[in-house]
Chain A
Amino acid sequence: MDKTEAFLDVSIWREQNGDGHFETYQVPRRANQTILDVVAWVQQQADPTLSYRFACRVGMCGSCAMMVNGAPRWTCRTHVLKVAEGASLEIAPLRNLPVIKDLVVDMDPFFDKWVAADAVFAPSQTRDDPMAPITPDDTMRIAADDAIECINCAVCYAACDVVAANPDYLGPAALNRSWSLVNDSRDAGQAERLQAVSAVGGCHNCHSQQGCAKFCPNELNPTLSISGLKRATAKSLLRWGR
């Protein structure tokens, strides 16, 4: 971006009741400005009816993801300088999810798939049992470490072309969470989980294109987790003998 430009030309997707279009706003440039700063300026100074979602503003909560110049980004930690093309920005709601209004998408399909992927901890012990000892150098613990820092922002889900082509596909985030639980030695629901990720929209639909890994703001690699699930389910198929 040309640093001498005093204003940014910002196109923002406006949508209500299924009827959507881009609207353009002139937003003053600021030092160290983030995409979320730009959206907040428009809502506070230009059009208070603009709807968008955010919470922590420090890259922890996973609320503020949007499409910025066609790519999914966590907007609170994305600097305008790094993604603007010239002085122009195009900000749209996350891909692959239904729009509620403007930049706010319905996250239900995303989280429903976490449940469908059985990405929920199944305890094997009660609160009366002693703490399960898991050492940091445990192989399973190390495999879980690679997958565990997900903030549920749905950037990977928006980046995934398989999700776009196949609405049944569980998506990178849900499968990544399942993989972290497959590596949890305290979990008692492994057989059910492997069956859940082997169903029609399961891990085997992944083309290993790695759009998820390219855009994950926490630099996780869900494709790697999904390939782990493919290996684990293939081994279990040999065990089940079906």
Chain B
Amino acid sequence: MLTLRLYFAQRLTALIMAPLTLGHLAVMIYAVQGGLSVAEILARTQGSVAWFLFYGGFVVAVAVHAAIGLRVVVSEWLGVRGIALSVFSLVVLATLLLLGGRAVWAVTFAGGGL
């Protein structure tokens, strides 16, 4: 179920997510404290490679981390094994990448606001 490579990928993505989560919290507090409007926030994120990499990296790390974590839960609690388990993990990975990626793209390079 969990091999060395999956274990390593989950630990590595946890390492990546820890500072990104703190950064995200700091940004949220800054935005709320400063009373930034949607337009002001988008003005900062649109076209920004830095914000794209920050939240894009976050989405990739979350998708990998959560897919592996849910793989373990589904396997241990529901007895899913083999190809079904791999398909489940890949579907979770793809769904999270799609949902998160779409959101990041919308606030960085999609243009024209939301």
A237 touches B5 (CB 8 A): yes
Interface of B is mostly: helix
Question: A169: nearest residue on chain B (CB-CB)?
Answer: B1
Q: Which residues of A contact B (CB under 8 A)?
A: 162, 165-166, 168-169, 198-202, 204-205, 230, 233-234, 237
A-contact 0/1 string along B9-33, CB 8 Å cutoff: 0010000000000000000000000
Partner of A204, one of B6, B75, B76, B77: B6
- Asked whether, in the complex, the Cβ of A165 is within 8 Å of the Cβ of B76, the reply is yes
Which of chain B's residues have a CB closer than 8 A to the CB of A234?
4, 7-8, 11
Q: How far is the CA of A225 from the CA of B34 in the complex (A)?
A: 50
Q: A168-B1, A202-B4, A234-B4 are in contact. List 12 more A-B contacts (CB 8 A).
A: A166-B75, A198-B4, A200-B1, A200-B3, A202-B2, A204-B2, A233-B4, A234-B7, A234-B8, A237-B4, A237-B5, A237-B8
Q: Could you give 12 example pairs across A and B, Cβ below 8 Å?
A: A165-B75, A165-B76, A166-B75, A168-B1, A200-B1, A202-B4, A204-B7, A205-B1, A205-B2, A230-B7, A234-B11, A237-B5
Number of interface residues of B (CB under 8 A): 13
Shortest Cβ distance from residue A38 to the other chain B in the assembled complex, whole angstroms: 35
The 7 closest A-B pairs by CB, nearest first: A204-B7, A198-B4, A165-B76, A204-B2, A205-B2, A233-B4, A237-B8
Interface centre among A199, A201, A202, A205, by most chain B C-beta atoms within 10 angstroms, is: A205
Q: In whole angstroms, how far apart are the Cα atoms of A204 and B6 in the complex? A: 9
**Inter-subunit contact B4/A201 (CB<8 Å):** no
**Chain B residues with CB under 8 A of A204:** 2-4, 6-7
Q: Mark B53-75, 1 if CB is under 8 A from A, else 0.
A: 00000000000000000001001
Q: What residues on A are CB-neighbors of B75 within 8 Å?
A: 165-166
Question: How far apart are the CA atoms of A200 and B82 in the complex, in Å?
Answer: 11
The distance from the CB of A198 to the nearest CB of chain B, in whole angstroms, is 4
CA distance A166 to B80 in the complex (A): 10
Q: Does the CB pair A166–B76 fall under 8 Å?
A: yes
For A202, the chain B residues whose CB sits under 8 A away are: 2-4
A190 to B41, CA, bound (A): 55
Give Cα distance in the complex from A200 to B7, angstroms. 11
Q: Which among B3, B4, B8 has the highest number of chain A CB atoms within 10 Å? A: B4
A169–B76 Cα distance when bound, in Å, is 11
Nearest residue, chain A, Cβ from B5: A237
